[in-house]
Amino acid sequence: MMGIDPGTPGGALVALLPEVLLTAWALVVLLFVAWRHGSAHDSRLAGALSMAGYVLALLATGWLAWQGARAEGLPQMIALDGFRYASDALVLAIGLGVAILSVRWLERQGILAPEYYVLLMLATVGMMLLAGAADMITLFLGLEVMSIAVYVLAGYDRTRRASAEAALKYFLIGAFASGFLLYGIALTYGATGQFNFALIGAQLAAGEASVMARAGMGLLLVGFAFKVAAVPFHAWAPDVYEGAPTPVTAFMASGVKAAAFLALARLLAEAFPSFVELWRPVLWWLAIATMLIGNLVALAQQSMKRMLAYSAVAHAGYLLLALWSHSDAGTAAVLVYLLAYSITTVAAFGILASIERAGARTVLLADLEGLFSVRPFASLGMAVCMLSLLGFPGTFGFIGKWYLIAAPLAEGEVILPVVAMIASGISIGYYLPVVLAMTLKPTRTRQAHQTIRFPGPAKLAVAICVAAILVLGFWPRTVLDFATQEAVQLRRVAIPILTR
Amino acid sequence: MDAFLSAIGYERWILHVLLALPLAAMPLILAFPVRFARWIALAVALTETVLGLGLWWAFDPANPGLQFVTDVPWLGAFGIGYRVGIDGISVMMVLLSVVMMPLVVWGSWRGIDTKQRGFYALLLALKTGMLGVFVSLDLFLFYVFWELLLIPMYFLVGLWGSGHRLYAATTCVVDTLVGWRMMLVAVLWMVQGVGDATGTYSFSYMHLLEHADVMSPWASWLFVAFALAFAVKVPIFPFHTWLPDAHTEAPTAGSVDLAVILLKMGTYGFLRFAIPFFPGFALSETTGTIMAILAVTGIIYAALVAMVQPDLKRLVAYSSVSHLGFVVLGIWGSTVESVQGAIMVMVSHGLSTGALFFMIGFLYERRHTRKIADYGGLARVAPLLATAFVITAFSSIGLPGLNGFIGEFLVLLGAFGRYPWLVVAATTVVVFSAAYLLWATQRVFFNRFTNPLNEGIGDLTRREVAVLGPLIAAMLWIGLYPGPILRRTESAARQYVEMIQPHLPPAREAPVRVAGVAP
């Protein structure tokens, strides 16, 4: 156990060590690419550097977690607890995975602008700040750093109209969401005079629920619902996911969603625990609508990226179940499910990225036919991903689903788990056809799948993800114990302040 | 035999070997060249049959409880274990599964000529799943096995099926999965509730059964969730819509497995889990009447629909719905006779419907059509096939002296005390089932030989005789001498009825007693 007082400059540096390291590294890479700009070799080098940066930040996070760093003194801007370290590690691992997937892919697509990796790292810093924020200002700062970098990344394939369209749509909707969020922060501040989550929680618990505080919370929820693409705030997701470069789509579907959910979990648990009766019904309806509509619309999709986009919407609905529970089990379920979902999403998009050809870039379900006979390992990996998203026993996705529905059940809620299970039952109707098309249908033409390029690093990253899905599906003990222990710390922060 | 089996420690390893063998053989099939695939599958299936048949002797008919029980922690911290065992209800299902195994492989010998490796590998996976469902004594394990079945089923129907196979496969798995996931919620809820009350969070069947009464305030919801999962699979009347499509489009092996084993998992689920957990609600006056009415509606409605089907396979599919209605009626009849009758119908429906599907498959391999109108007068060119079909049709109708009669008679007899008018209504189906099957037999095998395309059809080959022979022998044997099977199911059925007795509303005595069955 290491006490840190982030109020002092030295303490702040230690508390923010992973973020500071990654930011500094991003700036170094930015300098590097200013000189070495243009050839495929440079782009590859920048990618390797960014991976080193991610590893460095992961080590720093691990060190903080290992030291058991905890906050001392007054309430702070950034959280220092196991939940933040778990969030940071998750977000960093996603960033690392996406960086690895991007390396050769960018060359193949002819996108030779290595600033890509700088933006990726800065977006990750934003996610870490967002997920670790203990204060409204940090929350907003993280959100904006993340969003602005991701707006640019979504439009990174400048020559393609779909990519530009995705960036513009994402930017407009994202700006709206930020507006809602900012207004919500302002109203909450107006009602309580506080920015810190724990202090807001203490104020709200002491006083009555003023209209201003309630409106503030409502606007915050709307802002987050946009970010996580919950129905009815999901309309941007399919177009943006489809248009963005595929590794960026993987980043948005896993990283952005994870960061927003982690931040929302902390916000609801620390700042608004006394409003639980107010936000629960909101999340309840959001979850029901998101799960059902996401899954039903996904059934009709032919484009793989669009299908995965709607499936990402549906998974946001499942995750809302865990938030609804407002319990330690629920928080643990958020961590477990996000881990399962992120690993699977990164692997699935990684495989999809390798199938894409320069030029014709939307992979349809029919394009996967007969993949197994040409690329058996890639299609087995994809099959594992689909089964994991479906929540099939033996994959980590099943463990995640199990935790998700056990959490509200323990609170005595039955309808949410029932709807979640109906929705996931529907989802077999679009996950299994992928497996079927790949393994058991004949290839359309003799030349099919000959253009697939699976570069070594991406192969390794996907293999690790797929292995993790299977291994954690059978031996989830360690992860579950960790998640349960770390999640328990979330709610403890507010208590000492409340009793003071 | 007994001494030999106990000398080799049979009861300690048999269930694990039965479960593991097909899974272990899957990689073998994929590793060897295509031409070995069906041979490996056949070898595995025959091994399973030889090993599994030992259960017939090793199983102790006098012991009403669970036998061959193994309990090994798996995910111990969550109360999940590898818990398996069998009793008089499941032993029949296990035996039926292992006996059908080589027949299914053999029956597909010629029909499957594409992607053989995948086909036989999936067939073996299906076997493990089916056996697993019948022997699991841990609800988590049960759920896992049950879901494990879905993937092979989906592929078997979706790839080697005919016509609208993708539609059929999708509706089949979506309907089933939605029901099963309801059950998962119910199981987790129960584990949570029982755990809160007793301090032990466990998925063990015994543990949950012992303490199921703490969940009684929510019994109605939990029962509905379980019942939905099982009712879709049986299928009970309004949930049957996926079945005709799946049956019709599936390849022969898929139809046979579906009819013989998979449908029984639903009724088995009622007997093993849904009713024993929540007897108070499940057997109450209202629920019982609803279930019995649905069962009898299914019996009559499906028989009437079967009568007008132009497609042979669809006709048999609807007859399945009708027969399974008897099983449900028998279960809710809640007497030793009716429960034994239900188990008997499960077995004999497996034999006769399995044989019918095989024969339709053989016809389809020859002529690539299942339309009744395309045939006629086949008895002239295929006398053996016609004989086998007529015997099987009689068995399916329930002619005394063949297996179909025993089970349905016991069900009607046992359920009469509780639902006299419904039983009277259900009895009329004998007329309808005779009508649809005999009429179909007449149009396919007798009538005038009109279609010259049928000229070269040829009679049963030796392989086909080998597939049908054991089934027809079993039909005759059970029909003439059902004693050995009834003896093996009796004590389990009796214990089941004694367990649920306190929850039963009073009923009248059955009209007749059967020696050797009733008390």
Instruction: Give the span between the Cα atoms of B414 and B344, in whole angstroms.
Output: 13
Q: Which residue of A has its CA nearest to B177?
A: A425
B223-250 tens-digit pLDDT: 988 998 899 888 888 888 888 888 888 8
Predicted confidence at residue B69, as pLDDT, reads 82
Asked if the interface predicted TM-score (ipTM) of this complex is over 0.85, the answer is no
Instruction: Give the span between the Cα atoms of B181 and A428, in whole angstroms.
Output: 12
* Any B CB within 8 A of A414 CB: yes
- Do the Cβ atoms of A355 and A458 come closer than 8 Å? no
Phi, psi of B117 (to 5 degrees): -60, -50
The closest CB to that of A392, out of B147, B159, B225, belongs to B147
- The pLDDT > 90 percentage for chain A reads 43
Residue B261, in any domain of the structure: no
Measure B151 CA to nearest chain A CA, in Å. Answer: 8
In the stretch 68-87 of chain B, residues with CB closer than 8 A to chain A read 75, 77
Q: What contacts B180, CB < 8 A, 6 or more positions away?
A: A425, B143, B146, B147, B229
Phi, psi of B419 (to 5 degrees): -130, 65
* Any A CB within 8 A of B23 CB: no
- Do the Cβ atoms of A387 and A395 come closer than 8 Å? yes
Mean pLDDT of B333-343: 88
- A494 pLDDT band, cuts 50/70/90, is very low
Question: Is the pLDDT assigned to residue A292 strictly greater than 90?
Answer: yes
By the 10 Å C-beta count (0-12 exposed, 13-18 middle, 19+ buried), B9 is classed as exposed
A174-225 tens-digit pLDDT: 999 999 999 999 999 999 888 888 888 888 888 777 889 999 999 999 999 9
B356-394 tens-digit pLDDT: 999 998 888 888 888 888 888 888 888 888 999 999 999
Question: Is the pLDDT assigned to residue A484 strictly greater than 90?
Answer: no
Judged by phi (left if over 0) then psi (alpha if -120 to 50, else beta), residue B470 lies in: alpha
| From A44-48, A281-285, B172-176, the region with the lowest mean pLDDT | B172-176
A38-74 tens-digit pLDDT: 788 888 889 999 999 999 999 999 998 888 878 776 6
CB contact under 8 A, A409 and B166: no
Q: Which residue of A has its CA nearest to B159?
A: A440
CB contact under 8 A, B184 and A405: yes
CB contact under 8 A, B151 and A426: no
Give the gyration radius of chain A's Cα atoms: 22
Shortest CA distance to A125 belongs to which of A47, A44, A221, A61?
A61
Question: Is the pLDDT assigned to residue A152 strictly greater than 90?
Answer: yes
Range of the domain at B355: 283-519
Residue B489, in any domain of the structure: yes
Mean pLDDT of B398-418: 87
- A497 pLDDT band, cuts 50/70/90, is very low
Q: What contacts A400, CB < 8 A, 6 or more positions away?
A: A333, A336, A337, A339, A340, A341, A391
In this structure, the strands spanning A69-71 and A2-4 are parallel
Instruction: Give the span between the Cα atoms of A297 and A290, in whole angstroms.
Output: 11
* Any A CB within 8 A of B155 CB: yes
CB contact under 8 A, B188 and A406: yes
Instruction: Give the span between the Cα atoms of B341 and B336, in whole angstroms.
Output: 8
For the four alpha carbons of B313, B318, B321 and B326, in that order, the dihedral sign comes to: negative
Question: Is the pLDDT assigned to residue A337 strictly greater than 60?
Answer: yes
Q: What contacts A445, CB < 8 A, 6 or more positions away?
A: none
Measure B140 CA to nearest chain A CA, in Å. Answer: 10
Collapsed DSSP state (helix, strand, coil) of residue B473 = helix
* Any B CB within 8 A of A417 CB: yes
Shortest CA distance to B397 belongs to which of B445, B342, B436, B341?
B436
By the 10 Å C-beta count (0-12 exposed, 13-18 middle, 19+ buried), B4 is classed as exposed
The H or E element spanning position A388 is helix A376-390
A366-377 tens-digit pLDDT: 888 888 888 888
Mean pLDDT of A148-171: 90
In this structure, the strands spanning A69-71 and B80-86 are unpaired
The closest CB to that of B188, out of A387, A409, A422, belongs to A409
Instruction: Give the span between the Cα atoms of A450 and A243, in whole angstroms.
Output: 24
Omega within 30 of 0 (cis) for the link into B482: no
* Any B CB within 8 A of A325 CB: no
- The pLDDT > 70 percentage for chain A reads 94
CA distances from B114 to A428, B108, B109, B378, B480 (A): 25, 11, 11, 29, 41
Give the gyration radius of chain B's Cα atoms: 22
Q: How many CB atoms lie within 10 A of CB A277?
A: 8
Q: Which residues of A touch B177 (CB under 8 A)?
A: 424-425, 428
Instruction: Give the span between the Cα atoms of B17 and B20, in whole angstroms.
Output: 5
CB contact under 8 A, A418 and B182: yes
Collapsed DSSP state (helix, strand, coil) of residue B33 = coil
CB contact under 8 A, A410 and B180: no
Question: Is the pLDDT assigned to residue A319 strictly greater than 90?
Answer: yes
Omega within 30 of 0 (cis) for the link into A476: no
- Do the Cβ atoms of B275 and B342 come closer than 8 Å? no
Give the pair of three-digit tokens for residue B504.
Answer: 């039963």
End-to-end Cα distance, chain A: 23
Amino acid identity, residue A317?
G
Query: Considering its fold, how many domains does chain B have in total?
Result: 1
* Ranges of H-type helices in A68-114: 82-108
Instruction: Give the span between the Cα atoms of B239 and B235, in whole angstroms.
Output: 6
CB contact under 8 A, B188 and A417: yes
The closest CB to that of B181, out of A394, A414, A421, belongs to A421
CB contact under 8 A, A393 and B143: yes
Shortest CA distance to B98 belongs to which of B230, B222, B260?
B260
The H or E element spanning position A382 is helix A376-390
Shortest CA distance to A420 belongs to which of A402, A438, A434?
A402
* Any B CB within 8 A of A439 CB: yes
Q: Which residues of A touch B184 (CB under 8 A)?
A: 402, 405, 421
DSSP string covering B411-460, please? HHHHHHTT-HHHHHHHHTHHHHHHHHHHHHHHHHHSS----GGGGG----
B433-462 tens-digit pLDDT: 888 999 998 888 887 777 777 777 878 888
* Any A CB within 8 A of B31 CB: no
Measure A53 CA to nearest chain B CA, in Å. Answer: 37
* Any A CB within 8 A of B109 CB: no
Q: How far is CA A417 from the centre of its chain?
A: 22
